[in-house]
Structures are given as structure tokens and as C-alpha cells.
Amino acid sequence: MAETAAAVTADPPTERPKGLRLLAAAFTNRKTGIMLVLGMAAGLPYALLLGTLYAWLGETGVDLETMGVFSLIGLAYAFKFLWSPAVDRLRLPGLWRLGRRRGWLLPIQALVGLVLIALSQLDPGKTLGLFSLLAGIAAFASATQDIVIDAWRVEVADDVATLDLLSAVYQLGYRLAALAGGALALVLAARIGWPNVYLIMGVFMLFAMVASWFAPDTQWERGDRIEGDASGLPFKVRAVALGIVGALWGWALVTVIVFMIRSLGAAPADRPDAGEFIKFYGPLIVIATVVVPAIVAAVLDHWRRSGRFAAGNAAREERRMGALDHSYRALVEPLSELVGRLRWAAILVLAIILTYRLTDSVWGPFALPFYLQELKYTNDEVAVASKFFGVGMTMAGIALGAVSFATIGRMATLVFAALIAAASNLLYADLALGGAGLDVFGRNSGFYWLTAQFGSDERFSRLLLAITGENLAGGFAGAAFVAYLSSITSKSHAAVQYALLSSLTFLVGSLGRAALGEKIDSGGYAPVFFLTAALGMIAVVLCLLEWARTARAARAQSGISPLAASTAPAR
């Protein structure tokens, strides 16, 4: 009788919201609000340190060569994965009780905010050495913050604040911060001066600590070992694997640090060439920190699965490992888990990561020369079109990505985003050839009429139309890519895996720019845009293969059709 009464009074199971109802529910969730602030906290230092800072330096009379050396602080973002194991596993004294991620976020955000405030009190023309040192510290801290935020996003996702939606909200906050740290900072600097601008931005970073304080977090208790780790392997095998991976990661980290010290501390004539460093050492660092360790991890996973080594006395093995066990778990286990979980699909996943954003990232540095020198637009026109209008279109693309995640699912969004990102390069090819196609669309769609109401002529409207298409596609693809990277990252090793995978995108784009610059010099911009559009189709094909793979895996687990499995909104 009691059982019957309990069954009658029990609450019926609640159905998980879908589609737009899921989107509405997510944006009333505490996690999405915190994610928006954390996205802004991640994007603001990047915009200030690698963008508007050079406008301030230029006003104080710092020469272009010194500014070029300053740009080396951006290497902190490209190689942040080198210290991600420490961020993932190291407990900061006295702060670790706040949570695994919150214990890092609070001091890092405080450091970034205080450094920005300190920069506001300095004159870069008179104290350039101290100014560059503080800027480098801020860049290192900001890149570290990115590691923590990326891991937090993966770990706290749930059925309402889904990983896809959190990724889209993060991108939205990041772009809002880029607008504030770029266009808004320029406007404010003309009225209140650069020191006051950096003071305000530093105070915002301190304000972001409030969101971090209230962010839900995971604690330090270590759960069961994951299936893909190398547990059960004898001490000697694990020690050799740790020695190989540790030596390669150590070499890469020392190489980057030595290069930055030589560049920032040497006389202009003795400074090493940053482009040559990336071109030569970039692939070597990727091989040393990703390719070879991945091979080692694959071998360990194969041995573990095949039972080649008997586990022996588990307690004795753990005692022998001793202090090395912490380093083993930080360096080897993340890669072993990833390779063990993906198996041969790891090759496909890496291929997607290397090619997905190549279509736009590789020509990004040539955008301003294309607008200014090739098309002869003025600085003011380019500022309005790319900084204000363009950023707005990017945020609109991110918002559309969030809607797409909630309606057609992650993989369909990933494929469609890759397709339109590649196609958007054809808009710039048409612009380089005179814009005949853009004019036809602009006149017949009413776009030119609309922009004319704000005083724009057809020539400027043509640029706005091209930027609209490219930035909408770029925002959409950016949200899709971040969501995909997050989805293949394990919650147990989120910091290391995400930092590794995302860093590959920066390196590959930088390696192809020298050859692209030569092609522009020899054949002009239009052939280059046709080429980048074709390169984008490689990612489309790879994403279709990944869609088929994930759908097949879902069908094998649940017995539903591939199409239903791949288009359902991801949990």
C-alpha cells in the first residue's frame, strides 16, 4: 500500500526541453550568465594586449620594430598548452579549497586586472622595459586564464546549459570584449586618454572575479580512473613513457622561453626573426608535444588493452611510481585517454582541427592591406566597416550558431558552418575583381538601399556587404568549432586536451601565411580567395566523414538511425 501511495504521489519525470525552448531555458541558467562574463574576461586582455596597445605605443613615439618585438607576447596564447598540465593538476596553496577551477581563476584575474591598472600608471615612452615586462606577464596570465575557462566550460555543462550553448555564449562574450577593447577603447582614448582606458579595463577584470566567485565548480576529489588511461602498466613502462613525453615538452617550453628572452632583451640588430622561428620551430614543437606523445599514448593504450604486461602487485607498483605518478597523470594520461577513446578516429579529428579555420585564419593578417592598399578605402571607412559593423555581424553569427545547436544539432551545424565559411571567401574574390556579383545582390535585395539611408554610397556598401557575409559565417563557424573541440574533450582532462587541440589552429594558420603573401604579390588577391575557398572544402569533406562516424557510433549504442542520431541536439 505504501509503495502504491509513493508511486501516486511521486513527481512525474520532467521532459528535457528541446529546440528553441532549450535555448530559452539555457539563457535563464546561472551557468550561461557566468559564461558570458568569463568570455568577456578572456577576450578583453587579448584585445588590449595584442591590438589597441600598439595604438598607445604609436602615440608615445615607440618605433615599429619595437612594436614588432612587443607582438611576441602573443606566443603565450599559441603555446599555452605547454603549461596546461600544471594548471590542470597543480593546487595553489590556500586557494585550492575554492574549487579546481575557481582556485585558479580568482588569482589569475586579479593578476591581469592589477597589471592593466599598473600599465595605466606608466608612460611607455619613458619606461619601455618595465612596460614590456608587465605586458608579458599579463599575456601569460591571460593565456593561463583561457586554459582554466575552457576546462570549466567542459566540466560544468549539463542538459540545460549544454556544451554547445555554453560555447556559443563564450564566443559572444569574447566578441563583446573584442569590441570593447578595440573600437570602444579607441573612442574613449581620444576623449580621456589611454591611461584612463586601461584603468577602466583593469577594474572590469577585477569585477569579473565576482562571476568567478559564484561560478559552480568541480572539486579536487579524483574519481575512478578512466578507461583510456594506462593504469595496470608496470613501473618501467610508465617511467619510460613519462621520460619521453616530459623531455619533449620540456624542450618545447624552454625553446619558446629562450626565444622570447632573446627577442625582448637583445639589441635590434641581434633580435631573432619571429617569422623564421614559427616557420622552423612551429612544426617541430607540434611534433614534439602532440605527434610523438600521441604515438606513445597509442602504444600504451594498445598494450593495456591487449594485456601484454601483467599488472603484478598493484600496491608495489604505485609505491615505486611515487612522486612521478603526478607528472605521469598530468602529461601522459590526457593523451592516452584521448587516443584510447577515439582510436583511429583521432586521425580524422586532428585533420578537422588543422583545416577547419584555415580558410579564414591564414589570410587574416592581409585583410587590412587588402582594404586599404588594394581597394583604397580610407582608415575611417575600414574602422567603421570592420570594427563596428563587422564585430556586430560576428556576434550575430554566433547567436545564429546557438540557435542552430538547439535546433539541428552539433554535427549538422559543424558541416554547414564549414561550408558557408569557405563560400564567404568567394565574396572577397568578387570584391577583388570589382564586386559585380555583390552589386547584383545588393541592389536586388535592398541592402544598398538600406545602407544608403545612413549615407553610404554603393562603393562603401559593397564592402559592408562582403564583411556581412564573411563575418556572419566566421561567427557561426567559430561557435561551431569551439563547441566541437569542447565535445571531444574529456571532462577528466579538459584543461590539457582543450589547450592542446585549440593551439594547433593558431600554429597552422601562421605557418601558411608566408607562402600566401608570396602568392598575393605574384598573382593578386582574387586567386588567393579562390584558393582559400577551395581549402575550406577540405574541412567540409572531413566534417561529413566525422558526422557519419559519430552517427554510426550513436546508432550502435542506441539502435536509432544515423540521421536522427546526428541531428538531435547534443546533450
What CATH superfamily classification does 19-217 receive? Answer: MFS general substrate transporter like domains (1.20.1250.20)
Confidence of residue 219 (pLDDT cuts 50, 70, 90): low
Q: List the alpha helices (DSSP H) in 157-183.
A: 163-179
Q: Is residue 350 packed enough to be buried (19+ CB in 10 Å), middle (13-18) or exposed (0-12)?
A: middle
Predicted pLDDT of residue 13? 43
- Cβ atoms of 217 and 152 closer than 8 Å: yes
Predicted pLDDT of residue 567? 47
- Cβ atoms of 146 and 82 closer than 8 Å: no
Predicted pLDDT of residue 233? 72
292 or 222: whose pLDDT is higher?
292
Predicted pLDDT of residue 237? 82
Residue 177 has pLDDT above 50, yes or no: yes
Residue type, 24: A
- Cα(67)–Cα(268) distance, rounded to whole angstroms? 12
Residue 439 has pLDDT above 90, yes or no: yes
Asked which of 176-180, 253-257, 299-303, 326-330 is least confident by mean pLDDT, the reply is 326-330
- Cα(181)–Cα(41) distance, rounded to whole angstroms? 11
- Cα(338)–Cα(358) distance, rounded to whole angstroms? 23
Confidence of residue 492 (pLDDT cuts 50, 70, 90): confident
Mean pLDDT of 439-444: 93
Residue 282 has pLDDT above 70, yes or no: yes
Sign of the alpha-carbon dihedral angle for 295, 300, 302, 308: positive
- Cα(488)–Cα(352) distance, rounded to whole angstroms? 12
Report the 3 state secondary structure along 26-37. Answer: HCCCHHHHHHHH
- Cβ atoms of 562 and 551 closer than 8 Å: yes
Q: Which three cell numbers stand for residue 253?
A: 617550453
Confidence of residue 225 (pLDDT cuts 50, 70, 90): very low
Predicted pLDDT of residue 525? 86
Confidence of residue 571 (pLDDT cuts 50, 70, 90): very low
Confidence of residue 476 (pLDDT cuts 50, 70, 90): very high
Average pLDDT, the chain: 79
Q: What percent of the chain has pLDDT over 90?
A: 20
Residue 111 has pLDDT above 80, yes or no: yes
Predicted pLDDT of residue 473? 92
Residue 16 has pLDDT above 60, yes or no: no
Asked which of 125-139, 166-180, 449-463, 553-567 is least confident by mean pLDDT, the reply is 553-567
From the list 313, 557, 556, 555, the residue with the least C-alpha distance to 566 is 555
- Cβ atoms of 537 and 525 closer than 8 Å: no
Report the 3 state secondary structure along 285-319. Answer: HHHHHHHHHHHHHHHHHHHHHHCCCCCCCHHHHHH
- Cβ atoms of 473 and 423 closer than 8 Å: yes
Confidence of residue 216 (pLDDT cuts 50, 70, 90): confident
Residue 200 has pLDDT above 90, yes or no: yes
Predicted pLDDT of residue 326? 63
410 or 543: whose pLDDT is higher?
543
Residue type, 295: I
Neighbour count for residue 383 (Cβ, 10 Å): 17
Residue 503 has pLDDT above 80, yes or no: no
- Cβ atoms of 32 and 166 closer than 8 Å: yes
Mean pLDDT of 71-91: 77
- Cβ atoms of 499 and 340 closer than 8 Å: no
Predicted pLDDT of residue 390? 82
Q: Residue 451 to residues 388, 466, 570: CA-CA distances in angstroms?
A: 14, 13, 39
- Cα(270)–Cα(275) distance, rounded to whole angstroms? 15
Predicted pLDDT of residue 506? 64
Query: Residue 146 half-sphere exposure, CB side, CA atoms within 13 Å?
Result: 27
Mean pLDDT of 228-236: 61
11 or 39: whose pLDDT is higher?
39
Predicted pLDDT of residue 232? 62
- Cα(415)–Cα(148) distance, rounded to whole angstroms? 28
Q: Residue 235 to residues 25, 315, 330, 408: CA-CA distances in angstroms?
A: 49, 11, 16, 48
Predicted pLDDT of residue 116? 94
For residue range 1-13, what is the model confidence (pLDDT) as tens digits?
A: 444 444 444 444 4
Mean pLDDT of 420-424: 92
Question: Using DSSP, how many helices (H) and how many strands (E) does the chain show?
Answer: 30, 0
Cβ partners under 8 Å of residue 55, min gap 6? 186, 189, 194
Q: What is the pTM of this model?
A: 0.72
Predicted pLDDT of residue 101? 86
Q: CA angle, 274 as apex, 258 and 249 as ends, to 5°?
A: 45
Predicted pLDDT of residue 377? 84
Question: Radius of gyration (Cα) for the chain, nearest Å?
Answer: 25
Asked which of 144-158, 300-314, 408-422 is least confident by mean pLDDT, the reply is 300-314
Collapse the DSSP code of 266 into the 3-class scheme (helix H, G, I; strand E, B; otherwise coil) and give the result: coil
From the list 292, 280, 231, the residue with the least C-alpha distance to 256 is 280
- Cα(129)–Cα(70) distance, rounded to whole angstroms? 11
Predicted pLDDT of residue 301? 79
Residue type, 317: E
CA 315 to chain CA centroid, nearest Å: 40
For residue range 298-347, what is the model confidence (pLDDT) as tens digits?
A: 888 788 777 776 555 454 555 555 556 666 776 777 877 888 788 888 88
Predicted pLDDT of residue 472? 92
Residue 276 has pLDDT above 80, yes or no: no
Asked which of 367-371, 402-406, 542-546, 557-561 is least confident by mean pLDDT, the reply is 557-561
**Domain 353-567 class, CATH top level:** mainly alpha
Q: Which of 60-90 are b and which e, b meaning 16 or more Cβ less than 10 Å from the residue's Cβ?
A: eebeeeeeebbebbbbbbbbbbbbbbebbbe
From the list 410, 3, 345, 349, the residue with the least C-alpha distance to 168 is 410
